[in-house]
Amino acid sequence: MPKNIGKLTLYSIDDLHEKLGVSKLTLRSYLRSGKIRGKKLGVSWYVTEEALFEYFNTPEETEQEKAPETSSSPKRHYIVQGINDLVSETEECESAADVIALLEEQAILSLFQVKIIEKDTGRLIEIVKARDFIDQYQSF
């Protein structure tokens, strides 16, 4: 339930997850990257109504505006997922940098793995433990 402090309404990640149906991993990633403006108080993120309006009223980047991928780089996407019943969330990312940002916010990396998928064919290339993924792709 959102917290009201005077005229200010604050939404937690749990509130946004429940109301919007967006995974908590995605919300944390958006907050870390600045896609959604929020503040962290202690261990919890909070977002104002103003920040939500700002997010939903900002036009998305079109395909022409996005930086084109080089033809030599393989087109991949990544699936970050929990590996046991403690963490059941799954999140898709388009770049290794997005995966690293997502993993760096997790308290226990050993609970996650990353599936690397070839975009064009959907073929599974590799499954990597979260810590190994960070070590391997950190420099990219």
Q: What backbone phi and psi angles, to 5 degrees, belong to 13?
A: -60, -40
Topology of domain 3-57, CATH: Arc Repressor Mutant, subunit A (1.10.10)
- For tokens 């604050």, name the residue: 10
105 contacts 120 by C-beta, under 8 angstroms: no
136 contacts 127 by C-beta, under 8 angstroms: no
Percent of the chain that is helix, strand, coil (3-state, to 5): 35, 30, 35
Helix or strand (DSSP H, E) at 68: none
Query: Residue 139's CB: how many other CB atoms inside 10 A?
Result: 6
Q: Tell me the C-alpha distance between 130 and 112, whole Å.
A: 5
Q: What is the pLDDT of residue 105?
A: 82
**Radius of gyration for the alpha carbons in the chain, expressed in angstroms and rounded:** 17
pLDDT per residue as tens, the chain (140 positions)? 888 888 889 999 999 999 988 888 888 888 887 888 888 888 888 999 888 888 888 776 544 444 444 444 568 889 888 887 667 778 888 888 888 888 888 878 888 899 999 888 888 888 889 888 888 887 65
Q: What is the pLDDT of residue 62?
A: 44
Q: What is the pLDDT of residue 12?
A: 93
Domain boundaries, the chain: 3-57, 76-137
Helices (H), the chain: 13-20, 24-33, 49-57, 96-104, 130-137
